């Protein structure tokens, strides 16, 4: 996992491993450079403290972050992001 530290894939993987829940979504709004919105699946809402610690440790230093709990799970037909090469 160290190979992907500081990347969206690495952060998503760390969150999934730590919580045992899939479905985290990382958004990078075009109108807010160096800002990431982490959408937490409802099933992981009870782990917000550990999620916050992981996000703060894994994000690039110059990046701001916003953590929100998604109101509903992502669509089942949404493609899972692939591991970077």
> Going from the N-terminus, what domains does the chain have, and what CATH number goes with each?
2-69 (3.30.300)
pLDDT greater at residue 83 or residue 37: 37
Q: Which residues contact 30 (CB under 8 A, 6 or more apart)?
A: none
Structure confidence by residue, pLDDT tens digits, 22-63:
999 999 999 999 999 999 999 999 999 999 999 999 888 899
pLDDT greater at residue 79 or residue 8: 8
Instruction: Give pTM, 2 decimals.
Output: 0.78
Amino acid 81: pLDDT? 60
Token pair in block for residue 37: 């919105």
CA distance 5 to 15: 12
**pLDDT exceeds 70 at position 83:** no
């Amino acid at each position: 996992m160290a190979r992907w530290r500081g990347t969206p894939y690495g952060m998503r993987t760390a969150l999934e491993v730590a919580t045992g829940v899939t479905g985290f979504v990382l958004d990078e709004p075009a109108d807010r450079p160096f800002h990431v919105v982490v959408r937490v699946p409802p099933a992981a809402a009870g782990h917000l403290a550990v999620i916050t610690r992981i996000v703060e440790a894994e994000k690039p230093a110059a990046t701001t972050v916003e953590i929100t709990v998604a109101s509903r799970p992502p669509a089942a037909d949404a493609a899972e992001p692939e591991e970077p090469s």
